[in-house]
Chains A and B, each alone.
Chain A
């Protein structure tokens, strides 16, 4: 029996979410080990052209469903299409990226199919009996539960962002194109407006200056410092909450995980949900007026003092 793994390929207005491609590559590795078959499922409008190139990331096959409503994520339309596809084809496993949309979709599908769903796994494999086993971080990321799906099909998991690299190791995928034929008048949710500032992706930045609440929400010093260091800017969650910075540059368990060489963290206390986002940073330097904040534990260098006194001087010295 071949193991039939599906990966939901997320896209928005034709732009493919890169984390989906990383999952494809990992799924292909698992499939090759277990004797399985990987299918990418791509819902969208005029996206068929993208489909065959997905093969190189690990998909044997790509199922494309085209419909104008599917151009961007729509919870009802996407769930309906996925439900009928799954009912018709009966895959063993369904994976999606743990983006807002991926979690939204699989959260609903898991109940529709009364099946297990693992949340934002940082690793997954398939055991000898064909069960999906995933590593699920909890409590802000310091404790990981090894979770096994024991009931229901398809077995589901969302995969944490940025844990698997998209690898271009394989060839062209077989492409099957289906028409959605959705009736928009049937849906109870309708998008009436969309506002985009243009998402900045700091997950791959080499250097990041991170502003915490200690900055008071004013990013002037942070920006100046970032410019001098050739770094990007990130923030802790409360700064995004108060609107001082876009959500996309928020670091932590509900934001971005950094892979940087250097993070300079200004006025952040070092809460578990935050520090899970800087664990892969090579060198962490913090500035905090509290000599004993938890952030000390997570820093290589920890400057004790008022950032409003230290940073202007630091900026002067870096300019020289």
Chain B
């Protein structure tokens, strides 16, 4: 029987819907639709499979604004047992250092965990730095880019990690953290009845800095070790965008001609 399995989860805007304003040099996320960070869905699925096999309680931890609540409820509908949202105005502007700190504090407060699962990286920031960061704050081992976890005899797990040219199998002692590879499994759909229950009755716990014993100086802009000076748009190169249409035979003919001229 596993103890708590903790899944960190964030909500990210769809990258194709982000608009950059070159005048104000700001990113407008307001028109983009949001989703559970794709890799975190894979992490949640991994956690639920572990629970199905070895027992335990799956608890989602998220650090973000209140509007994330419906997405967290979606994770509950998928099968998570409980969820905590760390939300506090002072957290705005946190880089990966205070982000991993706040998540680690919340995880310590939940306590009694065997496994912490994160996504390999987030689809907006995409640093992949938060997972090893959390493990460092907690002083536990970590495995990044994991695609499979199996429990062995008491207190040990076998983790498959992607490496250049293939993979390695690592044996790790619990408690440990693993960042889960994007796309390594197919996240289950939310259960319809559970979804209705989550929306109407599930009570999301919201923790503030005070609940974590953190001061405003340790997080947000003040607690971060990096600052963003400015944003630059990096436009993709201009392309010809020449459409080739017609019956397949003609298209093939035209493609062959273009290809032959290029090689």
Contact = CB atoms under 8 A, between A and B. Distances in A.
Q: Which 4 A-B pairs have the closest CB atoms?
A: A241-B183, A116-B225, A107-B132, A199-B165
A145 B263 contact: no
B95 interface: yes
Interface in A176-223: 187-199, 207
Contact of B234 (A114, A116, A144, A262): A144
B187 to A, nearest CB: 12
Interface stretch (B44-52, B81-89, B137-145, B196-204): B137-145
Nearest to A272: B15
Kindly name the residue among B123, B176, B259 whose own CB sees the greatest number of chain A CB atoms within 10 A.
B259
Given A107-B128, A138-B126, A146-B228, 19 more contacts: A100-B163, A107-B129, A116-B224, A117-B96, A139-B15, A146-B230, A148-B227, A150-B225, A193-B169, A195-B167, A271-B15, A296-B241, A298-B239, A310-B251, A313-B249, A313-B253, A314-B255, A317-B253, A318-B259
B236 A297 contact: yes
A242 B242 CA distance: 32
11 contacts: A103-B127, A110-B96, A150-B227, A187-B141, A189-B143, A194-B163, A194-B167, A197-B166, A272-B16, A300-B239, A314-B255
A115 interface: yes
Contacts of B54: none
Q: Is the interface of A mostly helix, strand, loop or mixed?
A: mixed
A145 B124 contact: no
A229 B259 contact: yes
Contacts of B226: 116-118, 147-151
B96 A262 contact: no
Given A194-B166, A302-B242, A76 B141 contact: yes
Contacts of B158: 192
Given A100-B163, A145-B231, A297-B241, A115 B137 contact: no
A317 B232 CA distance: 44
A310 B20 contact: no
A106 B252 CA distance: 49
A137 B100 CA distance: 20
Q: On chain A, which size bracket covers the interface?
A: 35 or more
A56 B184 CA distance: 41
Contacts of B252: 310-311, 313-314, 316-317
A237 interface: yes
A68 interface: no
A317 B260 CA distance: 10
| A119, A242, A299: most-surrounded residue (chain B CB, <10 A) | A119
B173 A188 contact: yes
Interface size class for chain B? 35 or more
Contacts of B231: 143-146
Interface of A: 12, 73, 75-76, 99-101, 103-112, 114-120, 133, 135, 137-152, 187-199, 207, 229-230, 237-238, 240-242, 246-248, 253-254, 261-262, 264, 271-273, 275, 279, 283-285, 287, 291, 294, 296-306, 309-311, 313-314, 316-318
B27 A189 contact: no
Given A140-B15, A188-B141, A117 B129 contact: yes
A75 B227 contact: no
A111 to B, nearest CB: 4
B255 A303 contact: yes
A114 B135 CA distance: 14
A111 B100 contact: yes
A310 B243 contact: no
**Chain A CB within 10 A, most for which of B27, B143, B229, B234:** B234
A301 B258 contact: yes
A76 B170 CA distance: 12
Contacts of B120: 254
Contacts of B95: 116
B220 interface: no
Given A144-B232, A230-B263, A272-B15, A314 B137 contact: no
A137 B15 contact: no
Nearest to B260: A318
Contacts of A73: 163
B245 interface: yes
B136 interface: yes
B136 A152 contact: no
A294 B144 contact: no
A83 to B, nearest CB: 10
Interface in B127-176: 127-133, 135-137, 140-145, 158, 162-173, 176
B216 to A, nearest CB: 16
Contacts of B127: 103, 107, 117, 119-120
A225 to B, nearest CB: 9
A196 B165 contact: yes
B1 interface: no
B162 A279 contact: no
B170 A310 contact: no
Contact of A111 (B133, B172, B260): B133
Nearest to A109: B136
B225 A192 contact: no
B262 interface: yes
Given A189-B141, A189-B143, A199-B165, A302 B236 contact: no
